[in-house]
Amino acid sequence: MKNNIDYSLYLCTDQDLMSTATVEEAVEQAILGGCTVIQLREKHSSSLSFYKTACRVKLITDRYHIPLIINDRVDIALAVDADGIHVGQSDLPCSVVRKIIGEDKIIGVSASTLAQAIQAEKDGADYLGVGAMYSTSTKTDAKVVTMEELKKIRKAVKIPIVVIGGINQSTLVNFKDCGINGLAVVSAIISQKDIKRAAKKLLQQYKGE
């Protein structure tokens, strides 16, 4: 599965921002709107709460055959048999994560510099999350990546790239000629009153439909 992932519209969940009562509802609406990958991000949950939420969300992603990526927590990813894990620069190194989870799972790595991107690919990452492309309320401490740096990263690595950080209907047009593989979106989908419609519009605009 991991070699055939469509990264076009990659949703990162955030319980603090979602317009729905449950994460499961937000995820299902996002998938119905066209989201192609779901990353479950639970920054403030206990391990047990994160695990239980992941179990419920995986029932939905499995039903629609959409890959489920767990943010940061290798243990949770393994516990629920998620499709993969996404790690940042302050998490376990990609090379170590690969030893733990094996060759069949997806590993995504956050990168904001050319050096980080090259290292991630070398360490066995399957895709990169490059950003923050714009300042964003979901990650106030994130360093903003220039378009020039993004283009350097695209030229240097072969693995797929999704851009993240302030991605919405207004900003996605700036990535038309950057050779990226998808958009990682948080509030532009999950905070909207009609999540399904918001996802559909973003995907259509990204694909130029």
The pLDDT profile of the chain, 209 residues, written as one tens digit per residue, is 677 999 999 999 999 999 999 999 999 999 999 999 999 999 889 999 999 999 999 999 999 999 999 999 999 999 999 999 999 999 999 999 999 999 999 999 999 999 999 999 999 999 999 999 998 766 666 789 999 999 999 999 999 999 999 999 999 999 988 999 999 999 999 999 999 999 999 999 999 86
Q: Kindly name the residue from 58, 105, 139, 200 that is annotated as catalytic.
A: 139
Beta bridge partners of 37: 10
Phi, psi of 158 (to 5 degrees): -100, -20
Distance of CA 23 to the CA centre of its chain: 15
Q: Kindly name the residue from 41, 73, 105, 200 that is annotated as catalytic.
A: 41
pTM for this prediction: 0.96
Q: What is the Cα–Cα distance from 150 to 157, expressed in whole angstroms?
A: 11
Active site residue 139: yes
Active site residue 122: no
Pairing of strands 161-164, 127-130: parallel
Question: Over the Cα atoms of the chain, what is R_g?
Answer: 16
Q: Is 104 exposed, middle or buried (0-12, 13-18, 19+ CB in 10 A)?
A: exposed
Active site residue 63: no
